[in-house]
Structure 1
Amino acid sequence: MNWQSALYVGRVRHHRFRPRPHALAYRVFWMLLDLDEIDRLAAKLALFSRNRFNLYAFRDADYGDRSGQPLRPQIEAALANAGIAHDGGPIRLLTMPRILGYAFNPLSTYFCYRRDGSLCATVYEVHNTFGEIHSYVAPADSAGGALRQEADKVFHVSPFMNLDMRYAFAVTPPGQRISVAIDGHDAEGRLITAVLSGKRTELSDAALLRLLATHPLLTLKVTAAIHWHALRLLAKRIPWRPHPAAPERPFTLGSAATPHAKESMQP
């Protein structure tokens, strides 16, 4: 079988420019999961399961409205509500799996395709460390290639940043490589940039075992890194912002990037 699901192994980099510079980088890997393949993958792989404990696992209730209901209709409803035409083509989710029962994904990205293979939209699902979740839905340029999208920030992610920001996304969709770059701009210009990038490899038990050795307890380390760097920002006297209320709606509509935003993006 020609599997569309795969592993991507690479790095995450963050850089804050103001009021004092701060940067971090760490190795990471993601699963690209075709939502229609997950059950077959779980049957094929000894080390991966759906909705039950394993070395690696996918749990539906970690995503979407967290009800545990199937994700495809949830994402299709979000696209329809955003006025984005989707004809039932594949939906593929880039995310970190649960590892030994634990997962935290600051960002998971859904790539929504038409039946002819063209990309019609992306959905950026953001989780914060306060247990909240929000998604940005953005149409994709049917011309293909790298995506340029933007959206107003409406969801609290870090106590070191305000909500009055706009995101600019620069995305290389899944192929032999993948990249998602996000610039955050406020009234003074670019404040932060975050880039995840990885190289595709086959999703197999052998590969998952290798990743356990090269990236041990990855998801726990991601959470630990977030809190460690929060302490470092405090030490640098970056102002702490209060936690605003979460948006009432679970999705925010983004758009294709304006020419000005395209020029400022750093893929």
Structure 2
Amino acid sequence: MIDIDELEILDRRLGLFSVDRFNLFSFFFKDPGDRSGANLRMQVESLMSAVGVEPDGGPIRLLTMPRLLDWAFNPLSVFFCHGRYGELRAILGEVDNTFGERHAYMIPFEERSGDEIVQHCDKEFYVSPFMDMNLRFTFRVSAPKGRLASRIETYDCEGLVLTAANLGNRTEVTDAALLRAFFTIPLLTLRVVGGIHWEALKIWLKGVRLRMRPHLLEDPFSHVRRSKGDSETSFRKAELHEPA
């Protein structure tokens, strides 16, 4: 997880990590967001404003895999959007499929007394040919501190069909840590992509019916919004407002 305002600091400080240029590990501003390479903070804050969460300059931290030897594939990248006092105000989850398409779910929420924040959203984006589109997601997220915990549950009309979880501990980014990660999990991106296709092959061999890929949505952003006084979370869509 990286503070997007500290990327250039890491670029200067680390020998094995670079921004917008080749290295063992690298981050390119054209990889996340709308892929334009435009100011990343402005892109995220524009979406926050679109769903009624006015940004106040607080930290925005991105959980993603950097490029490894100039190659990366992130099935899910998550922006944790904080207020100026450190409170978690919204989450932007970017989902990529193996067709090169992307859809983002903006999830604003109010502060809760407990550690876990729960929100719900209808599925709007085709990822797997073995999963229907008429599904619903439940997002369970704990504000990242020393340890990160998040879970996405997928439901159909009969109940839970899939759970994806992510657990991690905070570690300082150093050249030694990057080198250790490289040798501990070599060619991670290749393993992710290969693993996706291997699991798909096993499912197909079991005879699971393939679902046709629908047309790509014109709006690549879905937004979940909690109305004041409403105990349920309602699904809505809002247009992306381009930053001035």
Matched residue, 1:45: 14
CA distance in 2 between counterparts of 1:156 and 1:123 reads 18
* 1:234-266 deviation per Cα after TM superposition (whole angstroms, max 9, x unaligned): 01111110111122112101246x9899xxxxx
State the aligned residue count.
229
Would you tell me which structure has more strand in proportion to its own residues? 1
Asked whether the equivalents of residues 151 and 255 of structure 1 are also in contact (C-alpha less than 8 Å), the reply is: no
Pair 1:134 & 2:135 matched = no
Asked whether the equivalents of residues 86 and 120 of structure 1 are also in contact (C-alpha less than 8 Å), the reply is: no
- Which AA in structure 2 matches 1:33? I
From 56, 60, 68, give the equivalent of 1:99. 68
Matched residue, 2:173: 203
CA distance in 2 between counterparts of 1:34 and 1:55 reads 20
From 18, 26, 33, give the equivalent of 1:57. 26
Pair 1:249 & 2:219 matched = yes
Pair 1:160 & 2:130 matched = yes
Q: Percent identity?
A: 47
Matched residue, 2:90: 121
Asked whether the equivalents of residues 51 and 225 of structure 2 are also in contact (C-alpha less than 8 Å), the reply is: no
Matched residue, 1:6: none
Question: How does 1:1-267 map onto structure 2 within 5 Å?
Answer: 32-143=1-112, 145-255=115-225
- Which AA in structure 1 matches 2:151? A
* 1:130-171 deviation per Cα after TM superposition (whole angstroms, max 9, x unaligned): 000010001133136221111110000111111101100111
Asked whether the equivalents of residues 90 and 108 of structure 2 are also in contact (C-alpha less than 8 Å), the reply is: yes
Q: Which runs of 5+ in 2 are unaligned?
A: 234-244
Q: 1:215 Cα shift? A: 0.5
Relative to 1, partners in 2 of residues 1:75 and 1:260: Cα closer, same or farther, differing over 3 Å? closer
Asked whether the equivalents of residues 137 and 253 of structure 1 are also in contact (C-alpha less than 8 Å), the reply is: yes
CA distance in 2 between counterparts of 1:198 and 1:259 reads 31
CA distance in 1 between counterparts of 2:149 and 2:214 reads 30
- Which AA in structure 1 matches 2:173? L
Q: What's the TM-score once normalised by structure 1's chain length?
A: 0.82
* 1:89-122 deviation per Cα after TM superposition (whole angstroms, max 9, x unaligned): 1110000110001100000000001101111100
CA distance in 2 between counterparts of 1:181 and 1:139 reads 16
The DSSP-based 3-state class of the residue aligned with 2:121 is strand
CA distance in 2 between counterparts of 1:163 and 1:255 reads 21
Q: What's the TM-score once normalised by structure 2's chain length?
A: 0.90
Matched residue, 2:238: none
Deviating 4+ runs (over 4 angstroms) = 258-261
CA distance in 2 between counterparts of 1:124 and 1:234 reads 28
- The farther-off stretch of 76-85 and 108-117 is 76-85
Q: 1:179 Cα shift? A: 1.4
Q: 1:182 Cα shift? A: 0.4
CA distance in 2 between counterparts of 1:97 and 1:146 reads 27
Q: Which runs of 5+ in 1 are unaligned?
A: 1-31, 262-267
Asked whether the equivalents of residues 149 and 255 of structure 1 are also in contact (C-alpha less than 8 Å), the reply is: no
- Which AA in structure 2 matches 1:80? S
The DSSP-based 3-state class of the residue aligned with 1:69 is coil
